[in-house]
Amino acid sequence: MEETIAGTEAAQIPRQRGASLLETAVRYAEERHWDVFPGTWLEAVDGVQRCSCGDASCPAPGAHPARSDWATQATGSATVARRMWQKQPTASILLPTGRTFDALSVPESAGFLALARMERMELTLGPVTLTPDRRMHFFVLPGASVKVPDLVRKLGWSLASLDLAPLGEGSFVAAPPTRFGSRGAVQWACRPTAANRWLPDAEELISPLAYACFRDR
């Protein structure tokens, strides 16, 4: 079962301990209607976990697309997802952005600062992931990648001055419980629940996120 940040609320996906990557990918497609696709996986080489891509210095071992046409491979069908992971049960679970959601990527330190501020503001959040490379991804409605640069400018900053990256069409995020080599697994900072099935618009979150990224520079 994927790890989840202590203290967050609501049901995890999957709910059962020991759920496989296959079962988890199927549930993302079936319960959240997210497109999913299998990425690379980890292989033991001389006792060391290496990425299946064969690159000994891979920056995201076991957590990136395995093929260049991954966008056409992504599916929202639980049946197709099950078939794909049956071929490679240890493949990472990757979610394309720009379809059912975009993501706002910020440093972990800025993300936690923003989460605290959002809680005080009583904002409704969508799911949020925390990756072993110390990034947080806030799921928002599609279209954020187009809107965010102008929204940030209106707040008095330029996107280039902040470590805030909107991920839309052509990008992806790794989903729990995908592992980044020996660095650990992707976790939920805010888990998918029935309450956050309807995602916020980027405009609702951009102020606390931009402010946190500015403070974190």
Segment 49-71, tens digit of pLDDT? 899 999 989 999 999 999 999 99
pLDDT at 16 over 50: no
Q: Can you give the pLDDT at residue 6?
A: 39
Q: Is 20 exposed, middle or buried (0-12, 13-18, 19+ CB in 10 A)?
A: middle
Q: What's the rounded mean pLDDT across residues 134-146? A: 96
What global pTM score does this model have?
0.90
Q: Can you give the pLDDT at residue 18?
A: 52
Buried b (16+ CB within 10 A) or exposed e, 121-144: eeeebbbbbbbbeebbbbbbbbeb
First to last CA, the chain: 34
Q: What is the pLDDT of residues 160-193, one digit of tens each?
A: 899 999 999 999 999 999 999 989 999 999 999 9
